[in-house]
Amino acid sequence: MSMLLILPIVIPLFTASMSLVFRRSRRVQRWLAVSGSVAMVASGATLLWRVWDDGILAGQAGGWRAPFGITLVADLFSAIMVLTASVVGLLTILYAIGSLDEGRRRFGFYPLTHVLLMGVCGTFLTGDMFNLYVWFEVMLIASFVLLALGGEQPQMEGAIKYVALNLVASVIFLMAVGLLYGVAGTLNMADLSIKLRETSNPGLVTAIAMMFLVSFGIKAAIFPLFFWLPASYHTPPIVVSAIFAGLLTKVGAYSMIRVFTLVFTQDINYTHTIILILAGLTMVTGVLGAVAQYDMRRLLSFHIVSQIGYLLMGLGLFSPLALAGAIFFMVHVILAKTALFLIGGIVWRLRGSYQLRDLGGLYASKPALALLFLVPALSLAGVPPLSGFFAKLALVQAGLEDGEYVIAGVALAVGILTLFSMIKIWNEAFWKDQPEGVDLASDEERGLHEPSATPYLYGPVIAMVVLILALGLGAGPLYEMATVASEQLIDPDGYIRAVMGEE
């Protein structure tokens, strides 16, 4: 089995363990965290290159052939996700070096983040349903601790809601996996794909598929399962919010796409129509929620929900174009959302508040930051020639081609509202003047006494903005990759052959 398949799992685990052992030293922890992330990015890039050149890469952990051992599989979709996650991990860790308080650092922020990345990459690379559950739990508990780390009251209150609903999701997931094993006798995804094609009770299989839909849906924050997200994502320090925004819900979306293209394709009219309806509702309720907000973080949190709707749309339409659009969209939205959260953090540092009404004057005093904000904000709204435009274009084209005019129209209309809410931030934080006499965080809290932090804060943001621009202006080759990835998803035979051998 190629080392490339387990490096994204082993590297962060190793880094985290060493970090745990050396938890006294700030320098060692920082150094470990960064080098571990860089190693992950390198291995992710190599993996992507390899899969692009040689096709789907599969390996069996423990040396036991499929479907008896646990298979790790990297098709293009997985490889793209691993690389994106690693990049986001690296950039947010760099930001954390500049922004994190010492208390959280001492109690394990860096190892926690790495374990989170481990779980995330594990879900992307696994080819086994129960193993998927395990990685989900790894990721989940890391996120629990990160969310609650610091113990402030809003964190505690947010954590209760977050923990509660995600645990319900885990239990539903576990039950669904159990049922699946009982019904099919195997947990290997490729094997399931084969075995579930001829079942004596396809309706039961579809019912189990619905359970997965609900479970993943909670984690991906779709309608009507997303209410935990706006209640909790804005409570921890901004860098934690950024990591969550970029990665956690996307894992849920990834799992949905994986499962509903590989395993549960027996009743597409039923399952994918439901998905399409939920997509539309998610888009609309999410963006309306955002429009109502005056706290920057909550506004961005609602947008996470809305954007997931687009991914669902790609899945629901279930055509090569739609899935390619969904994959492209996934990368775009991860970058854009993380960038926006981090910029929000910089704004807080400069102006001392997240409340839009209390902010202002940044376009005049910090034009560079304003431009940095405009790129991901407009990209999110789908303004060309940025990444978001091409992602939405693919999805809308797919919708129109299939005659699904309603969802295409909804997608476009939601884009208008997304722009509206982004302009709200622009108007309030950047264009208008900052009002007098408002309640701001102290200089001490904001960490302004550490000016050396600035490159760590701006560097990742600039990197992400460059990537978004590249994704838009250079959309051709990247979209081509997404197309090949989507073909691999639509026709699982390649995946199955890579896993099970030629049969």
Partner 1 sequence: METILAFVIGGLFGAGIFMMLRRSIVKFIIGLGLIAHAANLLIFTVAGLTRGEPPLIPPTMTELAEDAPFGDPMPSALILTAIVISFSVLAFAMVLVHRVYQTVGSDDIDDMQSTDT
Partner 2 sequence: MPLLLVVLAGFLAAPVAPLLSRFGRQREAGWLLPLVPLAITIYLATLIGNVADGETVTASWDWVPALGVRLAFMVDGLSLTFALLIAGIGALVLLYAGAYMEGDPNTDRLYGWLLVFMGSMLGLVLADNVLTLFVFWELTSISSYLLIGFKHAEDESRDSALKALLITFAGGQAMLAGLILLAMTAGTSQISAINLGGAAIRADDLYLPILLLILAGALTKSAQVPFHFWLPAAMAAPTPVSAYLHSATMVKAGVYLLARLSPALGGTDSWFYLLSIVGALTMVVGAFLAFRQTDLKLILAYSTISVLGSLVMLLGIGTTIAVEAAVVTLVVHSFYKGGLFLVAGAIDHETGTRDIRDLSGLARTMPVVAAIAGLAALSLAGIPPFAGFLGKELLYEAVGESEELGVALTVAAMVAKALLVAVAGLVAILPFAGRPSQAARDAHDPPMRMIVAPGLLAVAGLATGLAPSLLSRPLISPASSSILGEPVSVKLALWHGFGTVLLLSAITVVAGALIYAGRRRMVAAAGTLEPLGTVGPSRIYDHALRGLNWLATTQTRLLQTGFLRHYQIAVLITLVTLVGTTLLWRANTIQLGDFDDLHVIEIGLSAMILIAALTAVLTNSRLGAVAALGIIGYSVALIYTIYGAPDLAMAQFLVETLTVILFVLVFYHLPGLAQLSPRKVVIRDAGIAVACGALVTGLVLAATSEQFSPSISTFFTSKTIEEAHSRNIVNAILTDYRALDSLGEITVLALAGAGVFALLKLRPAGTGSDEPPIASSSAVPSLILQASTRVLLPVLLLFSVFLLFRGHNDPGGGFTGGLVAAAAFALYAIAYDAESARRALRVEPHTLMGAGLLVAVASGLVGVLLGEPFLTAQWLSFDLVGFGHLELSTVLAFDIGIYLVVLGVTLVIILSLAEE
* Separation CA 303–CA 245 (nearest Å): 10
- Tell me the C-alpha to C-alpha distance, in Å, between residue 301 and each of 182, 223, 257, 298: 38, 14, 22, 5
According to the binding rule CB under 8 A, does residue 3 interact with partner 2? yes
Torsion of CA 176, 180, 182, 187, to 10 degrees: -120
Q: How far is the CB of 159 from partner 1 (least distance, A)?
A: 6
Which among 1-9, 29-37, 243-251, 336-344 is the span making contact with partner 2, rule CB under 8 A? 1-9
> Is 1 in contact with 59 (CB distance < 8 Å)?
yes
Residue ranges in 26-85 that form contacts with partner 2 under rule CB under 8 A: 59-64, 67-70, 72
According to the binding rule CB under 8 A, does residue 225 interact with partner 2? yes
Q: Which residues pair with residue 60 across a beta bridge?
A: 71
* Separation CA 334–CA 276 (nearest Å): 21
Query: How many residues comprise the chain?
Result: 503
Of 152, 445, 491, 493, which lies in the binding site for partner 2, with binding defined by CB under 8 A? Answer: 152
Tokens 């860089």 map to which residue?
A: 38
Q: How far is the CB of 441 from partner 1 (least distance, A)?
A: 18
Of 25, 35, 151, 501, which lies in the binding site for partner 2, with binding defined by CB under 8 A? Answer: 151
Torsion of CA 4, 92, 285, 472, to 10 degrees: -70
Closest among 303, 287, 270, 260 to 417, alpha carbons compared: 287
Q: Which is nearer to partner 2, 384 or 459 (CB)?
A: 384
| Helix ranges, 247-386 (H) | 249-258, 268-291, 296-317, 320-351, 362-365, 367-381
Tokens of 474: 């250079």
Of 37, 193, 285, 488, which lies in the binding site for partner 2, with binding defined by CB under 8 A? Answer: 285
According to the binding rule CB under 8 A, does residue 141 interact with partner 2? yes
Q: Which residues contact partner 1 by CB under 8 A? A: 130, 133-134, 137, 140-141, 144-145, 148, 151-154, 156-161, 163-164, 167-168, 170-171, 174-175, 177-179, 181-183, 230-232, 234-235
Tokens of 470: 């590249």
Tokens of 13: 């685990």
* Separation CA 336–CA 428 (nearest Å): 20
Which among 348-356, 363-371, 437-445, 454-462 is the span making contact with partner 2, rule CB under 8 A? 363-371
Q: Which does 401 bind (CB under 5 to 8 A by kind): partner 1, partner 2, none?
A: partner 2
Of 35, 49, 357, 367, which lies in the binding site for partner 2, with binding defined by CB under 8 A? Answer: 367
Q: How far is the CB of 438 from partner 2 (least distance, A)?
A: 17
DSSP state of 188: B
Q: Which does 14 bind (CB under 5 to 8 A by kind): partner 2, partner 1, none?
A: partner 2
Tokens of 270: 């039923």
User: What would the x/- binding string for partner 2 be over residues 201 to 220, using CB under 8 A?
Assistant: xxxx-xxxxxx-xx--xx--
Which among 75-83, 310-318, 407-415, 448-456 is the span making contact with partner 2, rule CB under 8 A? 407-415
Q: Which is nearer to partner 2, 452 or 503 (CB)?
A: 503
Rg, the chain, Cα only = 22
According to the binding rule CB under 8 A, does residue 384 interact with partner 2? yes
Q: Which is nearer to partner 1, 174 or 412 (CB)?
A: 174
Distance of CA 378 to the CA centre of its chain: 19
**Burial classification of residue 116, based on how many CB atoms lie within 10 Å of its CB (0-12 exposed, 13-18 middle, 19 or more buried):** buried
Q: Which does 406 bind (CB under 5 to 8 A by kind): partner 2, partner 1, none?
A: none
According to the binding rule CB under 8 A, does residue 447 interact with partner 2? no
Q: How far is the CB of 491 from partner 2 (least distance, A)?
A: 17
According to the binding rule CB under 8 A, does residue 221 interact with partner 2? no
Of 38, 397, 441, 453, which lies in the binding site for partner 2, with binding defined by CB under 8 A? Answer: 397
